[in-house]
Structure 1
């Protein structure tokens, strides 16, 4: 299985249906900036988001929220403000981009191990119960039964520590964290039944259909830079949700045929072929507000070996 992601130093916006301006901005910054030294004027951010139909007030609100989350910080006290990515955000972006670009490249190493959490909270602890469920979801667990949650793998220390923090102050609360294997792993009563695999498969199929036209156009070389920026960023914005929510189960627990491979090929084709064009468009729209745009704007990309993505593309746009 994929190693459990380290606890982030910054709080990235939670994935949600559709793209909020702050989620979209986080995607843009993660994709196209890779230095904490770059001074990013607020007008340049507004110009970036305008390409996606985001209004200036919404863009400023997104900036403010990302400052609160620790993704970006203001540089000095100039007016209008100038921002920069924090070193913690840069490290987080690089780790996340590697995760997104390698996700689905190889079948998981499956040992049959699961982490199981069982908890009991008195009836008066409704808020604590909701907090535990939110925490378990954030750690990649799903509810097998009402108060029994599971996730594949063996990494239990982070969730054990969080349960201790959440439930130790709650009178009468009990919880256990166990390492388990299922006698009947496959089938309607096995652990895979806890996941909405039908919905996940439908999501992958819809992704392929959505991006098939732009993939074909990219192969023909008929995509203009403005379209490339929107299409490539939208593809990443959608793909990152799969990478964050797909439990990456082994083939014997998945419905067949499983469409993730086709979705991954679609994503990588769009992402790779449109990288230089998207970067060029981003430089074009931000340069009037940011003279150093061409120096700092880059793009991540996966090279020929998809299991070893480059941390960043050539800043001249030739990668």
Structure 2
């Protein structure tokens, strides 16, 4: 479903008309029925909200989907935090009989930026338990504890490397950076404002920008040497500079004609 927030980003608008959004989704191969079904499913899951506009409807990103989209748009412009000397930690012990709750808790926590240090131990720089809807109604046999884990910077860096699998993430980000730079070097002519440019823009950026959501915002002292995220954001920025104006012009024309 990352295609929909991508279109919001290209349009640079907080609200998109349903007719225009459906038309743009059609450029990506979705039939009108499939596009409407996608938007309905996203609305039911709280990822978009619809706003009645006369006889039609507009859409806004909502909930955690909207917050994630804001993180993508912020990119590497947000200031790196300082190491406070301890991780916030959520400790849990959930029996197999409540596996569904355990899996939902872990998914929700990871979506909020927690890393899993080991089974039953989730860590983050800040306490985000208030945003964990899974905690609202835990099963009676679940044991949950909120605490802090104090560590010196060296041990914290080791813990971060494990919890967020920073080595694998680093390789992924380096590969994305190489791919984007190669695509820019191969571009023969400035892109035109058309559907083909929008599709190419999406092909280049959708996966790398979605992957950046997996990057924890950690103090520099906890990140491996040569952490590749800044280089990836520079490559993303260059793709946006080259493809963005033409893609935005096309999307604006489609939306204004809706």
Q: TM-score category by the smaller chain?
A: 0.7 to 0.9
Q: Distance in 2 between matches of 1:23 and 1:237?
A: 7
Q: Provide Cα deviations, 1:166-220, integer angstroms capped at 9, x if missing partner.
A: 32xx2232211012222474489534222221221122112112222443367x7
Q: Which residue number corresponds to residue 155 of structure 1?
A: 127
Q: Which residue number corresponds to residue 31 of structure 1?
A: 10
Tell me if structure 1 keeps the 8 A contact 2:10–2:244.
Answer: no
Give the one of 189, 193, 206 matched to 1:237: 206
Q: Which residue number corresponds to residue 296 of structure 1?
A: none
Q: Which residue number corresponds to residue 62 of structure 1?
A: 38
SS at match of 1:231: helix
Q: Distance in 2 between matches of 1:261 and 1:138?
A: 21
Q: Taking structure 1 as reference, are residues 163 and 66 closer, same or farther at Cα in structure 2, changes over 3 Å only?
A: closer
Give the one of 112, 118, 130 matched to 2:91: 118
Tell me if structure 2 keeps the 8 A contact 1:113–1:180.
Answer: yes
Counting strand residues as a fraction of each chain, which structure ranks higher?
Answer: 2
Give the one of 176, 179, 193 matched to 2:148: 179
Q: Provide Cα deviations, 1:213-257, integer angstroms capped at 9, x if missing partner.
A: 443367x75223334422333444234323321112333333332
SS at match of 2:5: helix
Give the one of 274, 279, 282 matched to 2:248: 279
Q: Provide Cα deviations, 1:145-175, integer angstroms capped at 9, x if missing partner.
A: 2111212x2334515x6464232xx223221
Q: Which residue number corresponds to residue 99 of structure 1?
A: 71
Counting helix residues as a fraction of each chain, which structure ranks higher?
Answer: 2
Q: Displacement, 1:28?
A: 0.5
* Unaligned segments of structure 1, at least 5 residues: 1-21, 294-319
Q: Which residue number corresponds to residue 104 of structure 2?
A: 131
- Tell me how many residue pairs correspond in the alignment: 254
Instruction: Say what the alpha-carbon RMSD is for the aligned residues.
Output: 3.3
Q: Provide Cα deviations, 1:20-50, integer angstroms capped at 9, x if missing partner.
A: xx331232134315254x6442xx3343123
Q: Displacement, 1:137?
A: 1.9
Q: Displacement, 1:280?
A: 1.9
Q: Which residue number corresponds to residue 27 of structure 2?
A: 51
Q: Distance in 2 between matches of 1:27 and 1:108?
A: 27
Q: Which residue number corresponds to residue 59 of structure 2?
A: 85
Tell me if structure 2 keeps the 8 A contact 1:217–1:223.
Answer: no
Q: Are 1:165 and 2:103 matched, yes or no?
A: no
* Unaligned segments of structure 2, at least 5 residues: none
Q: Which residue number corresponds to residue 225 of structure 1?
A: 193
Q: Distance in 2 between matches of 1:64 and 1:187?
A: 43
TM-score normalized by the length of structure 2: 0.80
Q: Distance in 2 between matches of 1:35 and 1:195?
A: 31
Tell me if structure 2 keeps the 8 A contact 1:214–1:223.
Answer: no
**Range with bigger deviation, 113-122 or 208-217:** 208-217
Q: Distance in 2 between matches of 1:205 and 1:112?
A: 29
